[in-house]
Amino acid sequence: MGCRWRFGRPYATPARSQGWRQVPDRETRGLSMNTFVIIGAGQAGAWVARSLRNSAFKGRIVLIGDEDAAPYERPPLSKEVLKGEPLPDSCTVLKHEAAAEAEVELWLGESVKRIDREAHLVLCASGREITYDKLFIATGSRVRMLPTTGLPQDRVFYLRTLHDAERLHQAMMRSQRVLIVGGGWIGLEVAAVARGMGKQVTVIEMAPRLCARAAPPAVSDYLQNLHARHGVDVYLDTRATLSWNGSKLEADTGNGKAPIAADMVVIAAGIVPNVELATECGLAVDNGIVVDDQGRTSDPDIFAAGDVTNHPNRHAGMRLRLESWENAQNQAIAAARAAL
């Protein structure tokens, strides 16, 4: 495993292969006529598909994703892609040719509308539908939206998808002053890239320290000093009111000082799990889809993996929802094996 140190955080890149390793370590011939459907074509969803084939599952696999791009890893979005570089080839988790070789059907650009548990049916917004024997929900998360009423929407940005990163890069190219609301990992990585492009950068964080949810105080202090040395203005324990004066954005921090002027704002206020499909079909949901340590939901024919799950974590000694590519991959592998 390689590790590249970034301005925001370490980013590990596991060695991987697009090849398919058939490991007949269990009897799967009885499942050869089964259809396994995966909702969500991100890190977790792609690894469910890979793991099923690697475990010698012979049945039909359908992977449904609402993005047009083949499944990819998200860490490069706030690094290479945000700098204007293409997504690294090694970060495509399941290429089209590999999927075709393994007979994994990619339904990309498809949004799932509803799950009918009684009929074992998945219905897409396009009208397309498919019945399943086992279903995997790997719908991940979406950005937490903040109120931006009154602001021109071509000046307001979020970062979650490949399209978001490409759009954000273009906006930073034509802007000089970048305001970032949120001092977590994503906000800091955007700040690092923007400073590297020579932009004037301000980070506003409502917590008393950076990355407060994910890092101890010593790390927060280190990050604050690191960004300050690189010329980033950081406001902690601050809530800003954003407005548009006709030519620029302004952030009033309520400290009696002049508003902070900006050409664009990036909102990095965290993510929210995409549990709506699970909730509507009656699965147990509590800050994520409730699963056991093998990814089983409250329905024996439905599994879940990745950011969207609330799982028992033996290291923490409690249930929690983890937001990391590594957890998504590991949960996907476990869920795929448990379904066989």
- pLDDT tens per residue, range 253-301: 988 889 999 999 999 999 999 999 999 999 999 999 999 999 999 999 9
- Report the C-alpha gap between 274 and 262 in whole angstroms: 31
Residues in the chain: 340
pLDDT at 256: 81
pLDDT classification of 315: cutoffs 50, 70, 90: confident
pLDDT digits (tens, 9 = 90+) for 75-128: 999 999 999 999 999 999 999 999 999 999 999 999 999 999 999 999 999 999
pLDDT digits (tens, 9 = 90+) for 120-156: 999 999 999 999 999 999 999 999 999 999 999 999 9
Strand 233-235 and strand 200-204: pairing? parallel
- Residue-range domains of the chain with CATH: 2-142+271-339 (3.50.50.60), 145-267 (3.50.50.60)
Helix (H, G, I), strand (E, B) or coil at 81: helix
- Report the C-alpha gap between 261 and 252 in whole angstroms: 9
Tracing tokens 């952030």 back to the chain, one arrives at 251
